[in-house]
């Protein structure tokens, strides 16, 4: 990642514009931001870079989950960040099919790595209460009868959308 700044103005009224170029070529533009001088602009660039890194990782993580792809590195987001977001979305969604699919995708990711429950909680920073709620939802949704009912309902609603 690189950051460049342009300073404009004079006297007591300077403004800085920043261009942050990510490793994958994406550019993030920020500014104009009021600064006192070039040293203040340089200091602001350092804090701005940290803020942009956090927001880009969050955005890339959300995009990876929105795309519903496999849990792998996506742009600036790590696979662990994406796995944690899959769990969060699976737990918070009211659509049982989407919730089930995300939980299943996460479980496949976890078992492919051979993670135990303790390792999973540690790797993804999940506490006991969160884990208990996730397991309860997974057990409920993965019941064969419920799963078949959800799949049947999903099929019926897709047919009904054609009307």
82 plus 116 within the same structural domain: yes
The answer to whether position 59 is within a domain reads: yes
Tokens of 118: 């303790």
- Structural domain for 118, as ranges: 78-160
What integer is the mean pLDDT of 66-70? 78
pLDDT at 19: 92
Q: 138 CB contacts (<8 Å, ≥6 apart)?
A: 103, 107
According to DSSP, the β-strands at 13-21 and 2-10 are: antiparallel
pLDDT at 9: 83
46 plus 83 within the same structural domain: no
Scanning the structure block, which residue is given the tokens 């390792």?
A: 119
The number of distinct structural domains making up the chain is 2
91 plus 126 within the same structural domain: yes
Please provide the size of the chain in residues. Answer: 163
pLDDT at 17: 93
55 plus 88 within the same structural domain: no
54 plus 125 within the same structural domain: no
Q: Is the peptide bond before 32 cis (omega within 30 degrees of 0)?
A: yes
pLDDT at 118: 93
SS3 of residue 15 by DSSP: strand
């Amino acid at each position: 990642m690189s950051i460049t700044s342009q300073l404009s103005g004079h006297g007591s009224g300077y403004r800085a514009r920043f261009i942050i170029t990510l490793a994958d070529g994406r550019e993030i533009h920020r500014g104009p931001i009021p600064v006192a001088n070039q040293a203040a602009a340089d200091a602001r660039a350092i804090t701005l870079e940290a803020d942009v890194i956090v927001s880009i990782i969050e955005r890339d993580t959300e995009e990876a989950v929105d795309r519903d792809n496999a849990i792998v590195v996506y742009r600036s987001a790590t696979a662990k960040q994406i796995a944690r977001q899959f769990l969060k979305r699976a737990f918070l969604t009211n659509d049982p099919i989407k919730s089930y699919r995300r939980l299943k995708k996460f479980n496949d990711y976890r078992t492919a790595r051979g993670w135990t429950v303790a390792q999973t909680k540690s790797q993804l920073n999940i506490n006991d209460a969160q884990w208990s709620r996730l397991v309860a939802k997974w057990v409920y949704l993965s019941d064969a009868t419920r799963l078949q009912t959800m799949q049947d309902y999903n099929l019926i609603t897709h047919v009904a959308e054609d009307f």
